[in-house]
Amino acid sequence: MSAAKKLIRKAVLPVAGLGTRFLPATKAIPKEMLTVVDKPVIQHVVDEARAAGIEHFIFVTGRNKGVIEDHFDTQFELERTLAQRGKTRELEALIRDLPSPGQASFTRQQAPMGLGHAVWCARNIVGEEPFALLLPDMLHHGKIPCLATMIDAYAEKRGNIVSVSAVPDDQTHQYGIVGVEDASAAVAPITKMVEKPPRGTAPSNLHITGRYILQPEIFELLGEQEQGAGGEIQLTDSMIRLMHDLKQPFHAVRFDGELYDCGSKIGFLMANFAYALERSDLGPQLKAEIKKLL
């Protein structure tokens, strides 16, 4: 692990959302535990963070999310049974996915007051250091983990880093949108940010993809942030104040892999196909089966 990667040690993963778009699947199961191939969505995101050198995972959970904590804990009986049956490969995979003791923290967002409020709930565990934030709905699928590319950019630029990618103009109102100095650059200073701009008013078509590196000053701003779009405490609104009032720099890093919004049914289904198709144990057969369906 390069020294630069250790510039960012902690990652916040907000997992308190209700998952209403996936009912009835999410009535008793958190949406983050829905599987993409054979791993819960949240495990894919933790894998991305770990591949970028993250050492401490901070989950902001809510009521009915206890199973996420169980997923990242040892399951003694299961491990013993796998060992007794000689299922070494399965056992190794289970152990590999586990955070080491003390590497995971869980705190609860007690009311659904928005993403900004969820992030603020992690302030005491993050403390006074820059941190990564990964929104688990968004799977970033590329050769290099998205967060690793961002940490490399951070080593050079410092300040705050946001991952962006282009969306069609008719979708800009669904996301946080940034304006940049040079839209073609891989890493570009951000000049403008707006959360869910009304149709036709977006400063560009570059949307925030759900990966951030933020300075700890964001927490104080979040603590006094008023409700924004949708009546929620919006993270982007505090990021705007961090940029304009506290004069902290923000850079956009372009993500050039595939993005799957697992908060939407199509995105979730596509993630399953894409991740399965590239696996040697599943891909060829799945391809043949899909051809039969079409």
Contact 162, 241 (CB under 8 A): no
Cis peptide before 145 (omega within 30 of 0): no
Q: Provide the token pair at 125.
A: 């565990």
C-alpha separations of 39 from 18, 25, 42, 149, 276 in Å: 20, 16, 8, 23, 11
* 140 is a contact residue toward ligand G1P (CB under 6 A): no
Contacts of residue 40, defined as CB under 8 A and 6 or more positions apart, other chains included, come to 32, 33, 34, 71
Chosen residue from 132, 138, 206, 252 binding ligand G1P by CB under 6 A: 138
Q: Which is nearer to ligand G1P, 164 or 187 (CB)?
A: 164
Q: How far is Cα 254 from Cα 172, in angstroms, rounded to an integer?
A: 16
One symbol per residue from 141 to 180: x for binding ligand G1P (CB under 6 A), - otherwise; what is it? ----------------------------------xx----
Site for ligand G1P in 73-132 (CB under 6 A): 115
Neighbours of 20 (CB within 10 A): 8
Q: Reduced to 3 DSSP states, what percent helix, strand and coil does the chain have, rounded to the nearest 5?
A: 40, 25, 35
Kindly tell me which residue out of 206, 208, 221, 271 binds ligand G1P, with binding defined by CB under 6 A: 208
Could you tell me which stretch among 40-48, 202-210, 211-219, 269-277 binds ligand G1P (CB under 6 A)?
A: 202-210
Q: Residues touching ligand G1P: how many (CB under 6 A)? A: 13
In the complex, least distance from residue 59 CB atom to ligand G1P, rounded to whole angstroms: 16
Q: Measured from the CB of residue 134, what is the shortest distance to ligand G1P in angstroms? A: 11
- What is the footprint of ligand G1P within residues 222-241 (CB under 6 A)? 235-236
Residues in contact with ligand G1P by CB under 6 A are 115, 135, 137-138, 175-176, 195, 207-210, 235-236
